[in-house]
Every structure is written in structure tokens, then in C-alpha cells.
């Protein structure tokens, strides 16, 4: 991949990105897996993400995730993503984002992509990939979802497209109408059963695979009895679980140096418990077989590595370019002064 020698900049729209991802989610899983392994082998430059909060203590925030991924990828860039929870009540998506891909030979931007679809896709791919490796199969008697927003929808799209055998869904959201709409979409697809509950203990009691995708800023799930049935919890919102749940579980994240920041549940647990002994390993450890289920409840809490967005964005860009689903703005870069 190289920058446009004519001074143009390529743009890729969100709908075109989603069109390329749909039907190719197994390919997305492969891209994310290879990116994790490249990172684990030292092939990534990944500074800490930068959080900008314009109006504290409101939960609104901007996040910049920059990085470089070497190996087979050879890509650099940055994701700039905003999370404004009040958007949901106004009928807008909570998150919006752009992803910039850069040529590692010249430094020039190659393309600017709509980033929220890529971000949600890589988050869902990471979760489903790890769940499959830990479970050893694509099967769950029942899936529980707390927070029925965009990320949860993408997780369900992966489960469906990859052919997971799922007995049913239990849904919970602070916006009950949103949960009901989510249920209707599941039933329009391949789901055979789905119901909405207002009791999180009820959800944990009957579901073996649980997906947390809320906008919580501080832990609110505090009773370790919730984990009695030894579920696999995909803790994608990162701040739902209290130290009492963390301490009795097998905990897996993507990169500890990134995950133990910004008041995530694992960072709160570290402060409370005094160390990180509760951490069992990383997603790369799961992929290579160094970590497997050990009989306890399992909590997978990926902080979200920017290099995953770059890897998936590079793949999507190449697919869209091959299909002619890109727009080039000619003369975007000014003529150099000689």
C-alpha cells in the first residue's frame, strides 16, 4: 500500500466498509488473530491511547489510538474516536470515528476511513475469537447481553455469520425499548429464542456466555454470586465488574500495560487487591494455547489495541479498493515549495 503519488487522498465510507465486512467475518477473525500475534512477538509500536474529556464529570470523551504494525502488515496510523452516551437518547449512535492509514515508506496518509464500523468490528472479532478459543467450540446454550447497542449488535453478527449454535439470548438494557428492538432484530435473523429481562442476576443465572457492552464508568456488578454458574464473560465495556468478581475469576486481557489504565475494572481490582496476581494471561496466550480455561469463571477484558484497527482497516481498504468502492479527493496535498 502506497500513498497516491498525484497528491490525492482516498476516502472510504462506512456503508462500503460494512458491505465488505458482511459475509467475510471469518477473514476478519484471521486478520485480528494475526495482528494479536504480531503484537505479542514485538512487531508493534503502540503508545498509550490519549483520552480527552471536554466536560468532566460527564462521561463524554475523545480517544486517540496511534500505532505501527510491522510484519506482514507494514502499516501505521491513528484512530480518533468519540464516545458521547447521550447521543443514544437523541437517536444517534454513541460513537463516531475516523481511521487514518499511513504509508510507512513516505509517511503520507493513504486513506481516511469511517472508523466506527471498523472499531466495532475489531472489538467484536476480538471477543468472539477469544470466546471460541476458550470454549473450544462455536456453541453456547444461552448468550446474555447487557447493553444492547452497536458493539453488542456486531458481536451477534459474528456469532451468526460464523455459525455458532446458540440456544437463545437474554437481553438487558437501561433503555427497555432498545432491548426490545434488539430482540426483534435477533428474531428476524437466525435466533430461535430471545427475551428481555430487567434482572441482571437472572441473566447471569441462565447464560453461559455473557457480553457486557455498557457505558458504565464505575463497577456496579459487585456480588461474586453472579458467577456461580461459571460463565465466560466478554467484558467489552471494561468497567462493569467489581474487584470481588475479578478476584474469583480467570482474567484475560490483550495487553496489561494498556488495560490497567483509565479506571478499568482490572485497574480498580489492582488497587483494591494490591497486585495483578488475578491476571491469567493475554489473548495472544489464549491463541497460542499457553492459557486455557481452568475451571473458574473466565473474564475477557480487551482494552482495545489501536493496531487491531490498523490491521482491519488495511484489509478493508484493500477490499474496497479492489471493488472500486473508494473516493479519491485529487490535489488534497499542496504542491511542495521548491
Q: What is the pLDDT of residues 99-115, one digit of tens each?
A: 999 999 999 999 999 99
Residue range 135-300 in CATH 3.40.50.720: yes
> Nearest Cα to 121, choosing from 109, 110, 133, 113?
113
Q: What is the pLDDT of residue 337?
A: 52
Dihedral of alpha carbons 300, 69, 154, 98, sign? positive
Is residue 291's pLDDT more than 50? yes
The three cell numbers locating residue 98: 475516523
Contact predicate 115/309, CB 8 Å: yes
Q: Report the predicted TM-score, pTM, of the whole model to 2 decimal places.
A: 0.93
Domain 9-118+306-329 has CATH 3.40.50.300: no
Q: Quote the CA–CA distance of 274 and 89 in Å, as a whole number.
A: 39
Q: Is the pLDDT reported for residue 295 higher than 50?
A: yes
Per-residue model confidence as pLDDT tens digits over 134-185: 999 999 999 999 999 999 999 999 999 999 999 999 999 999 999 999 999 9
Query: Each residue of 213-243: pLDDT tens digit?
Result: 998 999 999 999 999 999 999 999 999 999 9
Q: What is the domain partition of the chain in residue ranges?
A: 9-118+306-329, 135-300
Predicted confidence at residue 4, as pLDDT, reads 61
Where does the pLDDT of residue 194 fall: very low under 50, low under 70, confident under 90, or very high at 90 and above?
very high
User: Is 307 buried (19+), middle (13-18) or exposed (0-12) by CB count in 10 A?
Assistant: buried
Residue 250 has pLDDT above 50, yes or no: yes
β partners of residue 113: 12, 99
Using the predicted structure, report yes or no on whether residue 338 has a pLDDT greater than 50.
no
DSSP state letter for 229: T
pLDDT beyond 80 at 133: yes
Distance between CA 44 and CA 62 in Å, rounded? 23
pLDDT of residue 279: 98
State the average pLDDT over residues 252-271.
Answer: 96
Amino acid at each position: 500500500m502506497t500513498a497516491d503519488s498525484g497528491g490525492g487522498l482516498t476516502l472510504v465510507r462506512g456503508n462500503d466498509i460494512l458491505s465488505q465486512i458482511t459475509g467475510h467475518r471469518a477473514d476478519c477473525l484471521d486478520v485480528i488473530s494475526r495482528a494479536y500475534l504480531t503484537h505479542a512477538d514485538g512487531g508493534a509500536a503502540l503508545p498509550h491511547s490519549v483520552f480527552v474529556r471536554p466536560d468532566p464529570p460527564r462521561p463524554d470523551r475523545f480517544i486517540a489510538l496511534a500505532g505501527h504494525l510491522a510484519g506482514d502488515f507494514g502499516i501505521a496510523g491513528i484512530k480518533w474516536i468519540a464516545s458521547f452516551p447521550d447521543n443514544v437518547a437523541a437517536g444517534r449512535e454513541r460513537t463516531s470515528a475516523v481511521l487514518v492509514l499511513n504509508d510507512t515508506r513516505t509517511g503520507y496518509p493513504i486513506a481516511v476511513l469511517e472508523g466506527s464500523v471498523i472499531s466495532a468490528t475489531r472489538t467484536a472479532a476480538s471477543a468472539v475469537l477469544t470466546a471460541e478459543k476458550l470454549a473450544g467450540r462455536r456453541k453456547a446454550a444461552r448468550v446474555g447481553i447487557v447493553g444492547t447497542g452497536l458493539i453488542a449488535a456486531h458481536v451477534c453478527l459474528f456469532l451468526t455469520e460464523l455459525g455458532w449454535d446458540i440456544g437463545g439470548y437474554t437481553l438487558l438494557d437501561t433503555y427497555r425499548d432498545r432491548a426490545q428492538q434488539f430482540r426483534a432484530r435477533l428474531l428476524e435473523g437466525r435466533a430461535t429464542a430471545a427475551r428481555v429481562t430487567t434482572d441482571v442476576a437472572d441473566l447471569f443465572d441462565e447464560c453461559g456466555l455473557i457480553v457486557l457492552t455498557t457505558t458504565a464508568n464505575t463497577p456496579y456488578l459487585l456480588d461474586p454470586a453472579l458467577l456461580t454458574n461459571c460463565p465466560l464473560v466478554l467484558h467489552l465495556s471494561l468497567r462493569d465488574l467489581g474487584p470481588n468478581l475479578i478476584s474469583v475469576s480467570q482474567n484475560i486481557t490483550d495487553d496489561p500495560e494498556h488495560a490497567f489504565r483509565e479506571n478499568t475494572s482490572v485497574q480498580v481490582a489492582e488497587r483494591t487487591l494490591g497486585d495483578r496476581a488475578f491476571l491469567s494471561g493475554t489473548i495472544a496466550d489464549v491463541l497460542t494455547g499457553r492459557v486455557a480455561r481452568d475451571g473458574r469463571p473466565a473474564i475477557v477484558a480487551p482494552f482495545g489495541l489501536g493496531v487491531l484497527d490498523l490491521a482491519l482497516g488495511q484489509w478493508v481498504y484493500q477490499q474496497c479498493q479492489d471493488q472500486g468502492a473508494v473516493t479519491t479527493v485529487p490535489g488534497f496535498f499542496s504542491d511542495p515549495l521548491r
